[in-house]
Amino acid sequence: MQTAVTIDPAAMLREAGLRVTDSRIAVLTALANNPHAGADALFVRVQQVLPNTSRQAVYNVLNDITDAGLARRIEPAGQPGLFELRVGDNHHHIVCKTCGAIADVDCVTGHAPCLTPNETQGFDLSEAEVTFWGVCANCKTAALPNTSIVPA
Amino acid sequence: MQTAVTIDPAAMLREAGLRVTDSRIAVLTALANNPHAGADALFVRVQQVLPNTSRQAVYNVLNDITDAGLARRIEPAGQPGLFELRVGDNHHHIVCKTCGAIADVDCVTGHAPCLTPNETQGFDLSEAEVTFWGVCANCKTAALPNTSIVPA
DNA sequence: TCACTATTTTGACCTATTCAAAAAAGTGCG
DNA sequence: CGCACTTTTTTGAATAGGTCAAAATAGTGA
């Protein structure tokens, strides 16, 4: 049984041409274990390992690894930027309108035909991003009337 | 030739059960003429008509009309919230990665089959939002090497 | 026109994020 | 291994976008 996701942060960084530093390793590791985490959550995680790390360092690292293509930044409306290592596979996200929880959704139809708009208004199209909105299982349960609570 | 879009803001407000105020009329009018405008841009427009209007009033109005279903708020990654009156027709947007320009894209396939994910991870699905990313015609032109400029 | 409630103003405050300068640390090379 | 060079990190301030709250004002139905 594995509790931690295993990746090789140092190798990832080297391949991307980035220097291998403690902060970067810590952020990558934290991100591997917490997909869709925001800068703040990652800062907390990183501090558990490297207590002297600054918030700014986390932002730096996130920008660096995002630019380098190691991470992807998503930003559902109403939420701060979130990050994930799962990159380049064109998957999408489903976001809970109530609590903000996010789950991955694999692209159903590959190069989905309906994702090429027929009018591109003169734009050179490069990407289609799909965000599903709904209510997660937890929030659904929480919203139910408490039918089982009967006063004595 | 029509330079201004004509809507009936007062009627819209009344139907929505909102009080008809100058600020609201001004914001709705500004929005009708500037789809995909942000709070700040609208504030500037509104001030041209009602110079005493506060920025906060614009935020209030935008929240009110959005809650009332008169406007929709979109928030492409990396941009502030933008608003549009075109509501309830499930259209999507194409955003220029270079300058942030936004155009409407009608939903190509109606209830697009590929927009129902096969795994919903326990979520109650209510909406699918599609954002296309690309480069607009202007930015495409601007990015071209200036082949025609030849020094004498 | 009144009374009641909703809206607006004013000004403080907050979160997420970036900027900038100095200090510290990674890396290739001798 | 140790230096020089460059990148990264720290520190602290600053910014954008937006919310909160209380008092003043303005719509609205009767």
Q: What is the pLDDT of residues A100-119, one digit of tens each?
A: 999 998 876 554 545 677 67
User: Is residue A127 less than 8 Å (CB to CB) from chain B?
Assistant: yes
CB-based contacts with strand C under 7 Å?
A 14, 19-22, 38-40, 55-56, 59, 63, 75, 80-81; B 18-19, 21-24, 52-57, 60-61, 64
Tell me, what amino acid is at A123?
A: F
* Amino acid A121: pLDDT: 85
CATH 3.30.1490.190 fits A90-143, yes or no: yes
What is the assigned CATH class of domain B9-74?
mainly alpha
Nearest CA in chain B to A121: B103
Is the pLDDT at B40 greater than 60, yes or no?
yes
pLDDT in tens, B72-96: 999 999 999 999 998 888 789 999 9
**pLDDT recorded at residue B150:** 37
In chain B, domain spans: 9-74, 90-143
Angle at which helix B55-67 crosses helix B22-33, to 10 degrees, equals 80
Q: Is A1 helix (H, G, I), strand (E, B) or coil?
A: coil
Checking if the pLDDT of B2 tops 60, the result is no
For the entire predicted model, the pTM comes to 0.88
* pLDDT confidence tier of residue A152, bands split at 50, 70 and 90: very low
Mean pLDDT of chain B: 87
| Other residues' Cβ atoms within 10 Å of the Cβ of residue A6 | 8
Using alpha carbons, list the distances in angstroms from residue B110 to A115, B51, B88, B114, B116.
12, 43, 13, 11, 12
The answer to whether residue B109 scores a pLDDT higher than 90 is no
pLDDT-derived band at A2 (thresholds 50, 70, 90) equals: low
Query: Which tokens sit at A123?
Result: 């734009």
Same fold, B9-74 and B90-143: no
C-beta atoms of A131 and B128 within 8 A:
yes
DSSP label at B119?
-
Residue A87 to residues A61, A109, A142, A149, B147: CA-CA distances in angstroms?
A: 16, 18, 33, 46, 37
Judged by a CB distance cut-off of 8 A, whether residue B67 touches chain A is no
Q: For B41-75, what is each residue's pLDDT tens digit? A: 999 999 999 999 999 999 999 999 999 999 999 99
Nearest nucleotide to A54 (CA to C1') is D10
